[in-house]
Amino acid sequence: MATLSVGEPQEMEVDRRGESEESGDDETKRKSLNGEVDSLQAPSTVPKESPVDMDTITLDPDEEDVDLVHCRIGKIEGLEVLRKAKTISLRQNLIQCIENLDSLVSLRELDLYDNQIRKLENLQALTELEQLDVSFNILRKIEGLECLTKITKLFLLHNKIMSIANLDQLTSLQMLELGSNRIRVIENLDSLTSLESLFLGTNKISQLQNLDGLHSLTVLSIQSNRITKLEGLQNLVSLRELYLSHNGIEVIEGLENNKKLTTLDIAANRIKKIENISHLTELKEFWMNDNQIDNWADLDELKNAKGLETVYLERNPLQKDPQYRRKIMLALPNVRQIDATFIRF
């Protein structure tokens, strides 16, 4: 294991809400943020960190899993000795440029989360790479990935990326995380036929489109965008989890072919009626809080989902009913959790 000779670094905590579960947060699938900064928050008084010289770090040539997290590294260099390395984590450093990686031809995973990187570059030698995380950096474009044809998981969360592009060669990609960027249009995904999970939360997307070729997709998350209409999902017949909270959707529709859905999250929209989902018999979790549901008869749409375990309806007009929880239990006797509270038997 690589060690820092100047002392044991203290791990930094990072708020990772609103991103895919595998890239850090186990509540991502439920919560999403608007990406706004509190204007009343006092400016940070933490002094700026100074980079350390890589010469102060001891590297083990036989190490396969190299951990260089929060070591104040300012430049990638001196890693040539790590010819056996399969995974390298350079999280939470001060790196500004991806460079000097050509000798790491056996690398399977590279983690550059939370640095100061402005460009995806100098990755062409990493042809065995299967996972790349450059989240929480300053990227503006997706580029320089053409040679990474074996990559299965790509995390580019919380950058400044404007558009989805230059992914055509990544035909083995199974997970793509592009949450918290500046993307306005879903596009250029047709070649990603192996993609199983797509995360686009907290962007500026206004329309569900150009998803027809993603026949293997099982998880789609587009929380906290500008979607007003449920559409464009008819070819996603393998879809199991759909997250659309914090948008402007007014009507539940367009889910006729998504019969395998087990999780449907349409919380915090503008929906007045639960409808057009009686065919979703495999549904286990239904999130409809923070909408405008006022008719108890709407719950009949969920009666065919015999395995339904969790229902969120809080902050709808229905919640004003003194018998709110009791009426949900009578209408949906198999439910085990109502809002955040488990049912006691």
Give the DSSP per-residue string, 109-167. EEE--SS------S-TT-TT--EEE--SS---S--S-TT-TT--EEE--SS---S--S-
Q: Provide the pLDDT for residue 22.
A: 54
The helix (H) or strand (E) run that includes residue 285 is strand 285-287
Which residue's entry shows tokens 């579960």? 21
Q: Provide the pLDDT for residue 18.
A: 41
The helix (H) or strand (E) run that includes residue 243 is strand 241-243
Q: Provide the pLDDT for residue 86.
A: 96
What's phi and psi for 219, nearest 5 deg?
A: -130, 125
The structural domains of the chain, ordered by start, are 206-344 (3.80.10.10)
Q: Provide the pLDDT for residue 344.
A: 85
Query: Measured between alpha carbons, how far is 159 from 294 in angstroms, rounded to an integer?
Result: 40
List residues bridging with 221 in a β-sheet: 199, 243
How do strand 341-342 and strand 337-338 relate by DSSP bridges?
antiparallel
What's phi and psi for 22, nearest 5 deg?
A: -70, -25
Q: Provide the pLDDT for residue 154.
A: 98
Residues 6 or more apart in contact with residue 307 via CB below 8 angstroms: 282, 283, 284, 334
Q: Provide the pLDDT for residue 21.
A: 54
Q: Provide the pLDDT for residue 47.
A: 60
Low-confidence ranges of the chain (pLDDT < 50): 1, 3-18, 24-44
pTM for this structure? 0.86
